[in-house]
Amino acid sequence: MIRDHVVSSCLRSVGHDAEADVLEIEFVSGAVYRYTAVPRRVHRELLGASSLGGYFNREIRGRYAYRRSA
């Protein structure tokens, strides 16, 4: 999956597979997590948020199943 670099104090890059509804996030630590059943709308809202980390904590963390990928 191709991830786009983002400007954030906690996220480094974000990508989304619209066909599989998978959101992939690379954190500044280098850890990569894949979140499943994430609609495209959430990906768009994340990228448009004034605080990506804040949006992640409010709208993604604890709401979607995930696994560490790298």
Pick from 8, 11, 59: nearest CA to 33 = 11
Secondary-structure breakdown of the chain: helix, strand, coil percentages, each rounded to the nearest 5:
25, 35, 40
- pLDDT per residue as tens digits for the range 11-67: 999 999 999 999 999 999 999 999 999 999 999 999 999 999 999 999 999 999 999
The residues, any chain, with a CB within 8 Å of residue 43's CB and separated by 6 or more, are 14, 16, 23
pLDDT at 11: 98
Residues of the chain with pLDDT > 70, as a percent, come to 99
CA torsion 19-40-5-49 (nearest 10°) is: -170
Report the alpha-carbon angle 46-16-4, nearest 5.
Answer: 70
pTM score over 0.85: yes
